[in-house]
């Protein structure tokens, strides 16, 4: 979680660089050590440029009832996990809470066949040249096989391997025939070769803390769904016809799903209108907030803004908005008939608080808004773009606080909602 004492000052960012090491994850790419919440590479790099087109012709994105209802007792569960430098404790709670999800699904009657896949929020950024860039690809190995992903080196070295991985994961390795966990309770079979399904999930969920600090949970979700329906990709086949799609988004920051055609908003020689400090050597995560959100009277909403911070008509948003429009994701989820839960910066009761951080100007400068929730571990940014998705597809309890002491009850409740949705 965001901790002001664990972050570099903006002035230090320009001169203190993370060490770069080349490596690869099994089944995905492995990032080099980076500074928490902002990749400390030597300078901007060109983005990936992949801009998948969402076919929204069959859905207006305005209702969770637009898509197909599940017709079989099948659910495909996708976790999108923030792997930036502030997420060690949160990943530990996520792995420990997996028992709540599995217990409900395994005891459902009639039995439920379920699949679970995991990806990260890292889709790259001009400042994240050395991170992993999963771009929606699944990571299905044990966290013990990815120990280097739990370390970042910047102004200080933070090692979350013991806390986020070893504290919950008992499997030194995980070798699945597909990059997801497959459980058929109707026949009492799984694709997990060693250990239990729960043990496999506890080892898959921790994704490390060395990913890009400009998190893109919505874009990662979108790309993962597209990959699952694209022949030739290792993710192809994860989505089953007649199955419910259930998505869990876990992040402590604002969604930064930006259009790579407008990456100039992050660059020193671009338009710095969204920077907290236009004279700084590098942007903070506040760019993500300022470029995709407008607030008035204590409430905030997503906004389609161009590179000069002008709001553009909805008809032009796909081309002119610097952040991918939220409607893009609503349309996709609507066509899938999805159920979504987010564990992020909402209050314990699921409400969202938007207020400036008057007592901590550093937090305001770093994130563009005051914290939405706080715990002993730190603070999290209140959601806007993700919250609008949850409002449409979150069912009865889609908004859960990342500041909670444990995530098991949230995951158990989500599993109960899944069971209630199935025929």
pLDDT confidence tier of residue 44, bands split at 50, 70 and 90: very low
Q: How many domains does the chain have?
A: 1
pTM given for the model = 0.88
Reported as a single tens digit per residue, the pLDDT across 337-375 is 999 999 999 999 999 999 999 999 999 999 999 999 999
Distance CA 230, CA 236 (A): 6
Residue 239: which CATH number? 3.40.50
Residue 157 inside a domain? The answer is no
Helices (H), 54-108: 88-106
Q: Is the pLDDT of residue 193 over 60?
A: yes
- Tell me, yes or no, whether 151 lies in a domain: no
Q: Classify burial at 420, counting beta carbons within 10 Å of its beta carbon; exposed 0-12, middle 13-18, buried 19 or more.
A: exposed
Q: Give the residue-averaged pLDDT of 175-190.
A: 97
Three-state SS at 398: coil
Note the pLDDT of residue 66: 57
In a domain, 243, yes or no: yes
Return mean pLDDT, the chain. Answer: 87
Q: At CB < 8 A and 24+ separation, what contacts does 189-195 make?
A: 195/170, 195/171
In the prediction, which pLDDT does 155 show?
Answer: 75
Q: Is residue 27 part of a domain?
A: no
Say which residues have a Cβ less than 8 Å from residue 107's Cβ, sequence separation at least 6.
none
Look at 2 and 313; give whichever has higher pLDDT.
Answer: 313
Give the domain range for residue 90.
Answer: 42-128+213-421
pLDDT-wise least confident of 18-32, 343-357, 372-386, 387-401: 18-32
Residue 2 falls within a domain, yes or no? no
From residue 398, how far is each of 233, 241, 247, 341 by CA, in Å? 30, 24, 10, 4
Q: Let me know if residue 73 belongs to a domain.
A: yes
Locus of tokens 């992903």 = 149
Give the integer Cα–Cα distance in Å for 158 and 353. 30
* Residues in the chain, overall count: 423
Higher-confidence residue of 5 and 202: namely 202
Q: How confident is the model at residue 214 (pLDDT cuts 50, 70, 90)?
A: very high
CA angle, 305 then 307 then 309, to 5°: 50
Q: Angle CA(288)–CA(218)–CA(314) in degrees, nearest 5? A: 75
Residues 75, 113: Cα–Cα separation, whole Å: 7
The one-character DSSP state at 282 is: S
Q: Residue 182 is inside which H or E element, if any?
A: strand 181-184
The residue among 367, 365, 391, 387 whose CA lies nearest residue 379 is 367
- Cis? peptide before 307, omega within 30° of 0: no
154 within a domain of the structure (yes/no) = no
Residue 315 has pLDDT above 50, yes or no: yes
| 37 phi, psi to nearest 5 deg | 70, 5
Distance in angstroms (rounded) separating the CA atoms of residues 72 and 53:
28
In a domain, residue 262? The reply is: yes
Q: Which helix (H) or strand (E) holds 409?
A: helix 408-421
Better-scored residue on pLDDT, 64 or 392: 392
């Amino acid at each position: 979680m965001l901790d002001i004492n664990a972050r570099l000052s903006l002035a230090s960012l320009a001169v203190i660089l993370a060490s770069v090491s080349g490596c690869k994850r099994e089944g995905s790419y492995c990032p080099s050590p980076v500074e928490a919440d902002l990749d400390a590479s030597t300078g901007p790099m060109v983005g990936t440029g992949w801009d998948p087109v969402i076919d929204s012709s069959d859905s207006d994105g305005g209702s969770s009832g637009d898509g197909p209802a599940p017709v079989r007792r099948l659910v495909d569960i996708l976790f999108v996990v923030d792997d930036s430098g502030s997420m060690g404790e949160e990943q530990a709670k996520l792995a420990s809470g997996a028992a709540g999800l599995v217990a409900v699904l395994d005891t459902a009657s009639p039995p439920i066949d379920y699949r679970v896949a995991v990806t990260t929020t890292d889709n790259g950024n001009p400042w994240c040249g050395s991170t992993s860039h999963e771009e929606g690809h699944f990571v299905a190995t044990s966290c013990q096989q990815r120990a280097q992903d739990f370390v970042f080196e910047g102004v200080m070295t933070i090692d979350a391997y013991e806390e986020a991985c070893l504290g919950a994961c008992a499997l030194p390795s995980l070798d699945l025939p597909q990059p997801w966990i497959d459980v058929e309770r109707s026949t009492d079979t799984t694709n997990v070769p060693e250990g239990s399904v729960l043990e496999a999930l506890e080892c898959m969920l921790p994704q490390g803390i060395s990913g890009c600090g400009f998190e893109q949970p919505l874009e990662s979700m979108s790309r993962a769904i597209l990959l699952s329906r694209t022949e030739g990709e290792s993710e192809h086949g994860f989505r089953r016809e007649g199955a419910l799609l259930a998505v869990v988004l876990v992040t402590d920051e604002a969604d930064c799903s930006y259009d790579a055609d407008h990456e100039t908003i992050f660059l020193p020689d671009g338009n710095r209108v969204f920077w907290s400090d236009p004279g700084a050597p590098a942007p903070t995560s506040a760019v993500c907030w300022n470029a995709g959100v407008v607030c008035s009277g204590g409430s905030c909403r997503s906004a389609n803004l161009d590179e000069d911070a002008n709001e553009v008509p909805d008809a032009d948003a796909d081309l002119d908005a610097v952040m991918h429009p939220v409607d893009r994701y609503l349309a996709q989820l609507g066509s899938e008939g999805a159920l979504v839960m987010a564990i992020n910066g909402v209050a314990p009761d699921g409400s969202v608080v938007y207020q400036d951080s008057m007592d901590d100007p550093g937090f305001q400068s770093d994130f563009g808004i005051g914290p939405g929730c706080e715990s002993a571990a730190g603070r999290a940014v209140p959601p806007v773009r993700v919250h609008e998705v949850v409002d449409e597809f979150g069912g009865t309890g889609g908004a859960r606080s990342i500041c909670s002491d444990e995530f098991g009850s949230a995951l158990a409740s989500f599993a109960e909602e899944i069971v209630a949705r199935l025929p």
